[in-house]
């Protein structure tokens, strides 16, 4: 599927140093029933909270960036939206 193997390490600077690196994307798909009071506002609130939780954050050798959400066309019973978060895992030892 074109995905790199991430279980093997790359050598870094000296022979005794190793580095594991992986890039990816986390995608959230959020659906809110139209019957929920203020459903559209709740959808935006939830996505905004998730976005702020990941925006420009870095911890445990994982850096998150390019956090974007997009409202999609509603379905018959749901409002829906996607949120995408790019991440990079970079561990050196």
pLDDT the model gives residue 22: 85
Domain presence at residue 80:
yes
Please give the model's pTM, rounded to 2 decimal places: 0.70
Domain presence at residue 2:
no
pLDDT the model gives residue 59: 79
pLDDT the model gives residue 6: 52
Domain presence at residue 8:
no
Structural domain count of the chain: 1
pLDDT in tens, 26-79: 999 999 999 999 999 999 998 999 888 888 777 788 889 889 989 899 999 999
pLDDT in tens, 8-22: 555 555 666 777 888
pLDDT the model gives residue 20: 80
Tokens 């929920």: give the residue. Answer: 36
Domain presence at residue 53:
yes
Domain that holds residue 81: 19-92
């Amino acid at each position: 599927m074109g995905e790199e193997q991430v279980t093997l390490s790359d050598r870094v600077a000296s022979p005794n140093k190793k580095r594991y690196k992986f890039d990816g994307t986390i995608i959230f798909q959020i659906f809110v029933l139209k019957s929920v009071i203020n459903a559209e506002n709740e959808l935006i609130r939830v996505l905004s909270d998730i976005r702020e939780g990941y925006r420009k954050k870095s911890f445990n050798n994982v850096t998150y960036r390019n956090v974007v959400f997009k409202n999609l066309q509603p379905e018959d019973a749901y409002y829906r939206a996607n949120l995408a978060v790019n991440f990079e895992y970079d561990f050196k030892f």
